[in-house]
Structure 1
């Protein structure tokens, strides 16, 4: 009887946790979608590589949150597959940012430091809100961990964008902006690789057949 009560409590706690997880994802999805539009317009207007990179990162995160909402409550294998898809998309995004950064470095344009700083601070506040909400969900399966890694990297990237704005203002050159965009590309590549590795580990565990008693005796 006691065992049944404990099991029911655990199930209820899991359901409450899942509902909280979905609610946080919906809020984070709305924030990231809005910030994508703001940063992309600001990045084009200011001619900033780091703002454009961060804007596309917001778009990627919004899509990742939508995927996470779609697989929430599904079997581990499906959550791991979703995490693998997200990891691959983040890795590809990192490659794109790196290529775009090299191209903008060759152009030699100087972005508007004031716009970079203002939008960078706004983006940092948005990502800190998401990071605080997602903190309690940072452990668990690869899908949840992937969302936390995205949020963590975004906050680090926003701090770097603000630093780039200060650098552009102080030096009068676009190199601080280029350097930060390159750092964001490395963060995306590193985060994507971590998510891919974790998801592959979960997939191997999910598809591996259980050992039978006879096999254990051999």
Structure 2
């Protein structure tokens, strides 16, 4: 969620500024997204080998809140139609965040009755989606 907030914050900071700053505001979130993707993938690998237990209710609750925030941000971005590389970066990251949050909610629902494997599989997919966006 920190990476999401940082991406939106940088984009808002760059509104009305020089195009060079907008370009930097597009690249820095890409690096943050890359770090996020690598941390998600490393967490999936760690959980696979250590067999740590999921907290599906907590995971699902936080992801529902994050999904609501993603929808609100996508609505604002779409309505404002601000152009620039910093906003184009948001058009890449926001749908990925939406997919990641939806996937995490699905994983939280599947983890409860089954096992932690759905969470790991979906986490692996989310990691590569975010890495591709970065």
d(CA) in 2 for partners of 1:160 and 1:138? 27
- Kindly tell me: are residues 70 and 126 of structure 1, through their superposed partners in 2, closer, same or farther at Cα, counting changes over 3 Å? closer
Deviations 1:68-95 (A, max 9, x none): 2332212212211221122122122212
Structure 1 counterpart of 2:14: 71
- In structure 1, runs of 5+ residues without a counterpart are 1-57, 193-218
Structure 1 counterpart of 2:126: 184
How far residue 186 of structure 1 moved from its aligned partner, in angstroms, is 1.0
Deviations 1:118-140 (A, max 9, x none): 33323222221222222235673
TM (normalized to structure 1)? Answer: 0.55
Structure 1 counterpart of 2:72: 129
- In structure 2, runs of 5+ residues without a counterpart are none
Deviations 1:93-144 (A, max 9, x none): 2122211221111111231222333333232222212222222356732200
For the pair shown, the structure with the greater C-alpha radius of gyration is 1
Indicate if the aligned counterparts of 1:137 and 1:144 stay in contact, CA closer than 8 A.
Answer: no
Structure 2 counterpart of 1:84: 27
